[in-house]
């Protein structure tokens, strides 16, 4: 009667504290330059060593520029990146430095190197750690104090979350991607609809989804308020992981797969909450507000005041005022200033293939500034190997260097105040892409179509 979440959680319990949290063993800690410095300082102050440095992997990503990576001009960002390097050297931690072939966004590099594997517990001082749940791992974001706790003990103290299963059944329509599925779920459930839960995604739609799509969906679990998102590993997972750098090899691989096949919820497993959605109800999506749940199908209009409850109206209007939109407005056809393809949400090879399939043989709109940023150096090399870079170049686009880039305003790729960006990233909060910047979230297909036309464009038929 156990869920997949139960199986992974229970197998990692060190001890249960009476009337308190669970001491949970963690298989992998990812560390980046933003949330780790204070944790290392804590260890240094207390004279403590990292207990299991071989289980820690670090890399800079938030502050790395996407136009060049010889130097970081911002002194704060440069200091964070240099501090991470020094801390890794001092504590004996594997470090994938900026500009090296191993570097990239930590939530892209982990799965693609098979550092994230089924059945693992994985944490990082970053909310989008939920991404790694796509391989069948329990992956959660943690706070800086917990990072220090983990470095010292390889364990964290956690209250066990509740369990939720979201079933999605059926076949996705043309032009509908995993990003649209996630944005649809957020709109249906709100950005707090899964608070306190670990969400398992199941159903025929998920079983037929590529690993890249599953990674996107798991990445956005956190935007529903959930603690983690997880997908049972299957042949798609195993095909994706086999032969990757840190995957088991030979006989060890066969043994691992035999164990991983047991990582699924039992037929009689009971979830604290269970929901089912139909794939055919999902269209390409865009957001109109300043949280990822404030979204509509691309051919719909922003809700009218009459459809919003009186209690919700002040926040609704505040979002629209910031976005410079109006109730009942149709966003399709609205001019865009910036287009961003990338982030740990949509910076993988499948996303670039999708973008290229739309722009091939066409030209970028003159009014659009486009940032196309791979999630890792491996993705960038795949783009070049497949000739996608030539397709992009012929269409007037530049392929940039791996970075978190315009997902957040911590590096040079900032959207200017008042400008409207259509973005594949995960958040559209006030100022997320730059002070005063306005963000519409969408899929790679929708961003590509919009980059060609210069206005928010339905990707269907393009």
- For 32-85, what is each residue's pLDDT tens digit? 999 999 999 999 999 999 999 999 999 999 999 999 999 999 999 999 999 999
How far apart, in whole angstroms, are the C-alpha atoms of residue 228 and residue 219?
9
What pLDDT, on the 0 to 100 scale, is given for residue 1? 86
Three-state DSSP class for residue 214: helix
Closest by CA to 240, choosing from 118, 326, 155, is 118
Residue-wise pLDDT for 105-116, tens only, equals 999 999 999 999
How do strand 197-202 and strand 228-230 relate by DSSP bridges?
parallel
Answer whether 108's CB lies under 8 Å from 216's CB.
no
Q: Is the pLDDT at 462 greater than 80, yes or no?
A: no
Mean pLDDT of 425-444: 98
The DSSP line for 55-80 is GEEE---SS--SS--S---SHHHHHH
Whether residue 249 has pLDDT greater than 90:
yes
Computed over every residue of the chain, the mean pLDDT equals 97
- Residue whose structure tokens are 């009186």: 310
Is residue 18 very low, low, confident or very high in pLDDT (cuts 50, 70, 90)?
A: confident
Band of pLDDT at residue 27, cut at 50, 70 and 90: very high
All domains of the chain in start order, with CATH: 4-273 (3.30.499.10), 289-453 (3.30.499.10)
Question: β-strands 13-16, 138-141: how paired?
Answer: unpaired
CA pair distance 206, 225, nearest whole angstrom = 20
Q: What is the pLDDT of residue 461?
A: 81
Beta bridge partners of 420: 438
Q: What's the confidence (pLDDT) of residue 303?
A: 97
Does residue 7 surpass a pLDDT of 80?
Answer: yes
Mean pLDDT of 386-398: 98
Q: Which residue bears the tokens 């599953």?
A: 214
Res 45: pLDDT: 97
């Amino acid at each position: 009667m156990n869920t997949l979440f139960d199986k992974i959680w229970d197998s990692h319990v060190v001890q249960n504290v009476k009337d308190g949290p669970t001491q949970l063993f963690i298989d992998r800690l990812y560390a980046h330059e933003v949330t780790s410095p204070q944790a290392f300082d804590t260890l240094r102050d207390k004279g403590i060593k990292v207990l299991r440095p071989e289980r820690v992997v670090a890399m800079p990503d938030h502050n790395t520029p996407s136009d060049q990576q010889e130097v970081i001009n911002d002194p704060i960002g440069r200091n964070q990146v240099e501090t991470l390097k020094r801390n890794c050297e001092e504590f004996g931690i594997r470090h994938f430095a900026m500009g090296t072939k191993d570097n990239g966004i930590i939530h892209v590099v982990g799965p693609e190197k098979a550092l994230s594997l089924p059945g693992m517990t994985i944490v990082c001082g970053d909310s989008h750690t939920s991404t790694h749940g796509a391989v069948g791992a329990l992956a959660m974001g943690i706070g800086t104090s917990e990072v220090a706790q983990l470095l010292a003990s390889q364990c964290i103290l956690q209250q066990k979350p509740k369990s939720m299963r979201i079933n999605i059944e059926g076949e996705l329509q043309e032009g509908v991607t995993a990003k649209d599925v996630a944005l649809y779920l957020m709109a249906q459930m709100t950005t707090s609809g899964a608070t306190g839960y670990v969400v398992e995604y199941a159903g025929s739609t998920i079983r037929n989804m590529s690993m890249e799509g599953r990674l996107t969906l798991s990445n956005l679990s956190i935007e529903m308020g959930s603690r983690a998102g997880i997908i049972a590993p299957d042949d798609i997972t195993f095909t994706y992981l086999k032969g990757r750098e840190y995957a088991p090899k030979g006989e060890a691989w066969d043994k691992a797969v035999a164990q991983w096949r047991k990582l699924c919820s039992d037929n009689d497993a009971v979830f604290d909450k269970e929901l089912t959605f139909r794939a055919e109800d999902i269209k390409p999506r865009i957001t109109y507000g300043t949280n990822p749940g404030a979204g509509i199908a691309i051919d719909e209009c922003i809700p009218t005041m009459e459809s919003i409850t009186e209690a919700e109206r002040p926040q609704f209007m505040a979002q629209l005022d910031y976005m410079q939109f109006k109730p009942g407005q149709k966003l399709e056809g609205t001019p865009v200033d910036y287009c961003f393809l990338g982030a740990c949400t949509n910076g993988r090879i499948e996303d670039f293939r999708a973008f290229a399939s739309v722009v091939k043989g066409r030209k970028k709109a003159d009014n659009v500034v486009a940032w196309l940023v791979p999630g890792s150096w491996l993705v960038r090399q795949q783009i070049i190997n497949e000739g996608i870079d030539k397709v992009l170049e012929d269409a007037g686009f530049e392929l940039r260097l791996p970075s978190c880039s315009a997902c957040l305003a911590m590096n040079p790729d900032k959207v200017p105040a008042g400008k409207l960006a259509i973005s594949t990233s995960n958040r559209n909060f006030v100022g997320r892409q730059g002070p005063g910047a306005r963000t519409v979230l969408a899929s790679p297909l929708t961003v590509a179509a919009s980059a060609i036309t210069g206005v928010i464009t339905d990707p269907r038929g393009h």
